[in-house]
Structure 1
Amino acid sequence: MIASHRSALAATLATGTLLGLLAGSCALPGRAAAADLPPPPPPPVEAAPVAIGSGWYLRGDFTQSWYDHPRDDAIPDPSDPGMPPLVGLRLSSESGYGGGIGYQINPWLRVDATIDQRGASSFRGYSSRSVFETGYNLEAGKVDVLTGLVNVYADIGTWYGFTPYVGAGVGFADKRMSRNYTQTTCLIDGCDGLEGTGPRNAAFRANHSVTTFAWALTAGLSYDIGAGFSLDAAYRYINLGKVRSGFDEYGGATRLKDLAANEFRVGLRYRFADGLLPAVARGYGN
């Protein structure tokens, strides 16, 4: 009885060994074939997003202009050679506003194009054949100025968010003289051939616009306040060229040259590349 059980156990073990060998022999070709396959290709690399608006910025500015004293540019009248030039020429200081679009070329160089409109400045000047002994003439009116400039700036460096810079610009100045008139005032009786003293009737001159070449020099300081915004304050000297009024009923006109202004500007710049992100420290330039 024991011998028959041993024989049955031996037969079972032999059968299991044979089945294992057969299974191993069947699996070997598959493993060998799998080893011969090339590795799978790498996953596709997504293209880096393109920065839209990188370097571009918008600006808006408030301007206060203090005009230098211009000079008389009247054309000599051959029939009246004794008419002296205007003296005491003055233009009142006026505020204005403007804006523009620019591009940051690299950390230290940028360009922009700006348009600035100034308020109408009050103008006056005097002339007198008698050196103000018997009487004098007053010429007065309004002058407003629109400028368009292309500017280049050198950003000197950035320290704690502050960036000083210098710049220069060229473009045009459109000047309009309006409400212009001339008026004689007699200090003695009959200084102009009419009886009495005091101011005479004014002769009004037509409105007139003149567009000429303009240039400017700038020095300023900006401060990065974050989220793409920078505060900007600058001094600018701008040369505006010539201006003249229209003619009055006698053919007279007011003509001025060397019109220029010293300007203080304060404004805000928004740089698209920064988006609505907090300010970051920059090693050089802005």
Structure 2
Amino acid sequence: MNRLVVAVLAGASLFPIAAKAADIIEPIPVVEETPADYSGWYIRADAGYVFSSETDGSFRYFDAYSGNYGDEFRYSSIELKDSYSLGAGVGYRWAEHFRTDLAIDYYDFDVKGRSDCPYSGGSGCRFNDSSKADLWTVMANAYVDLPYFGPITPYFGAGIGFANVSYGDMRNEICSTTCGDPNNYLGVHEGEDSWRFANSLMAGASIDLTHSLALDVGYRWTHVYEGKAFAFDAQDRAAGASGIQGRDNGFDIHAVRAGLRYSFF
């Protein structure tokens, strides 16, 4: 009985020691993760190589003898030669994988045109035309950034906006048999300027160079809708023609681009 009492008293004497030891061991603090801030403004600038593309169009025929407009004819081929593009924009990142921007791009094209003469009756008469075209696009774009692989972030996007197409004067050669013959008729048609709708699709990848600066490499397809191309030449205008003679049926722009994107975190 005495041994039991001694054991109980000894055990009771250990409780204050254990309590003091518990006071010495500090609780492990719980670290709450702060959500990453993915929002922020950015600016971008790029240059690109533009592949040649081809479309067609239509033109009105003016009969100088009767003073009346004839039928509307298909213009067989309008070719935009390969060229370059320059662009700049400002954007905002709304979330880790979503951003938007407003961009302005410039293109400079040499234009070649070919078509059969109206009412030629299989004589071989054809048009051999040349011009230039300056094109500006103003596009609102949205992008989805895919999960990244180290410093590389793939993305895809789409845009909608407007294009201003400004044709230079078109040199029109009517080839009866051989183009380039000094006896062929040469006319000059004043180029037209028009605003049109445009839309685009993009895909590419950005490569982080620093925390704020990234190299952006990608492909962009842009479709520019139909519009005015050229007016009647001086001979037709002198005979009474006026207004627009030729139109294009819109065209596609295929470009590979590389540029820099700077983010203001």
The TM-score range, normalised by the shorter chain, is 0.7 to 0.9
Q: What's the offset of the Cα at 1:130?
A: 4.1
The superposition leaves residues 20-78 of structure 1 with CA deviations (integer Å, 9 ceiling, x where unpaired) of xxxxxxxxxxxxxxxxxxxxxxxxxxxxxxxxx96100000102222431121324767
Aligned residues: 212
Question: Is residue 218 from structure 1 mapped to residue 199 from structure 2 by the alignment?
Answer: no
Tell me which residue corresponds to 1:208. 192
Tell me which residue corresponds to 2:161. 171
SS at 2:79 equivalent: strand
SS at 1:159 equivalent: coil
Question: Is residue 63 from structure 1 mapped to residue 63 from structure 2 by the alignment?
Answer: no
Aligned residues of 1:113 and 1:151 also touching (Cα < 8 A): yes
Tell me which residue corresponds to 1:101. 90
Question: Structure 1: which amino acid aligns with 2:216?
Answer: D
CA separation in 2, counterparts of 1:253 and 1:79? 10
- For residues 38-117 of structure 1, the aligned pairs below 5 Å read 55-75=40-60, 79-81=69-71, 84-117=73-106
CA separation in 1, counterparts of 2:250 and 2:92? 32
CA separation in 2, counterparts of 1:122 and 1:132? 26
CA separation in 2, counterparts of 1:67 and 1:169? 21
CA separation in 2, counterparts of 1:221 and 1:161? 10
SS at 1:187 equivalent: coil
The superposition leaves residues 165-192 of structure 1 with CA deviations (integer Å, 9 ceiling, x where unpaired) of 110000000001102122212228xxxx
Normalising by structure 1, report the TM-score: 0.68
Tell me which residue corresponds to 1:49. none
Tell me which residue corresponds to 1:125. 114
Aligned residues of 2:58 and 2:73 also touching (Cα < 8 A): no
The superposition leaves residues 92-151 of structure 1 with CA deviations (integer Å, 9 ceiling, x where unpaired) of 011021100001101000000000011232332222344764422223211121001000
CA separation in 1, counterparts of 2:175 and 2:183? 4
Aligned residues of 2:113 and 2:127 also touching (Cα < 8 A): no
Q: What's the offset of the Cα at 1:228?
A: 0.9
Question: Is residue 148 from structure 1 mapped to residue 167 from structure 2 by the alignment?
Answer: no
Identity percentage over the alignment? 24
SS at 1:263 equivalent: strand
CA separation in 1, counterparts of 2:49 and 2:122? 34
Tell me which residue corresponds to 1:237. 221
Tell me which residue corresponds to 2:14. none
Tell me which residue corresponds to 1:24. none
Unaligned runs of 5+ in 2: 1-37, 63-67
CA separation in 1, counterparts of 2:110 and 2:127? 20
Question: Structure 2: which amino acid aligns with 1:115?
Answer: I
Moved more, 71-80 or 258-267: 71-80
Change (3 A) 1:72 1:156: same
The superposition leaves residues 240-272 of structure 1 with CA deviations (integer Å, 9 ceiling, x where unpaired) of 112412332214733111211111111100001
Cα root mean square deviation, aligned: 2.3
**Structure exhibiting the larger radius of gyration computed from Cα positions:** 1
Aligned residues of 1:117 and 1:146 also touching (Cα < 8 A): yes
Change (3 A) 1:69 1:199: farther
CA separation in 1, counterparts of 2:50 and 2:140? 19
Structure with more strand by fraction: 2
Tell me which residue corresponds to 1:247. 232
Aligned residues of 1:121 and 1:144 also touching (Cα < 8 A): no
CA separation in 2, counterparts of 1:207 and 1:124? 13
Change (3 A) 1:132 1:233: farther
SS at 1:74 equivalent: strand
Unaligned runs of 5+ in 1: 1-52, 189-196, 274-286
Moved more, 146-155 or 133-142: 133-142
Aligned residues of 2:56 and 2:77 also touching (Cα < 8 A): no
Change (3 A) 1:132 1:103: farther
